[in-house]
Structure 1
C-alpha cells in the first residue's frame, strides 16, 4: 500500500550501472542455473558463483534486466538477488521498477 488505497508490485527490474570504479560489488542471483556459464575470468561479464547461481560484474553503461513475477502474478524465486560487497572504490547504480497497480 502506498496510501492511495491500492496495492502494487514490481513486475520487472532494470539495474543500471553508472560507475564501476571498484573491486567486488557484483550482483548475485543464487537461484539462476549456472550450468552453462563461463568459467571464472575477469574479462567476462558474469561468473558462476561459488555458492551457486550467477554473479554479474558491475560495468558502467551496462544494465541488468529481469522479470520478478510469473504470468499469474506470483513471485519468481529466480529474481532473488543480492549486491555483493564493494571491497574497494565506488560503485554507483540506479534501479528502475516498472510497476503494476491493483485496484
Structure 2
C-alpha cells in the first residue's frame, strides 16, 4: 500500500489518517478484489458499495492490519474513489482512548435490507 519514501504513512500534514472509505464506482467482470493480507481476507468490488475501516486504534497508534492491496482486474474495469478522514478536526467526534488495546466494535452490514 505504501512505497518507502522515508516517511511514515500515518503522519501527514493534516494529521494521522483515522479512517478510510473506499467507494466502488464500477464492477469488473473478473478480479479486482481488495485484500487485507494481515487479516487473510478480501472483498470483490460491487458497484455502488463502499468499504469503511479505521486506520488507527483509539490510542492513536497505526493499525497495520488495515494495510491492503488491489488484486489485478482480469476482465472489465475497476474504478474506485476514496475518502481519507484525518485526525485534525475529529478530536470531539472520536476522542482518543486511554489504553492502547481499545478496538472498534464491529457494527455489521449497514446495507438496506
TM-score, length basis structure 2: 0.63
The equivalences for 1:8-87 within 5 A come to: 8-32=15-39, 53-87=40-74
Give the 3-state SS of the residue equivalent to 1:8 in structure 2: coil
**Which structure is higher in strand share?**
1
Contact 1:31/1:80, CA 8 A, preserved across alignment:
yes
Q: Structure 2: any 5+ residue segments left out of the alignment?
A: 1-12, 90-113
TM-score, length basis structure 1: 0.69
Q: Which has the higher contact order (CA 8 A, sep 6+)?
A: 1
Give the 3-state SS of the residue equivalent to 2:79 in structure 1: strand
> 2:29, 2:23 → 1: CA distance?
15
Q: Structure 1: any 5+ residue segments left out of the alignment?
A: 1-5, 33-52
Contact 1:13/1:67, CA 8 A, preserved across alignment:
yes
Report the CA distance between 1:54 and its aligned residue: 0.5
Contact 1:22/1:91, CA 8 A, preserved across alignment:
no
**How many residues matched?**
77
Report the CA distance between 1:93 and its aligned residue: 0.9
Could you say which residue in structure 2 is the equivalent of 1:98?
A: 85
What's the C-alpha RMSD, in Å, of the aligned pairs? 1.5
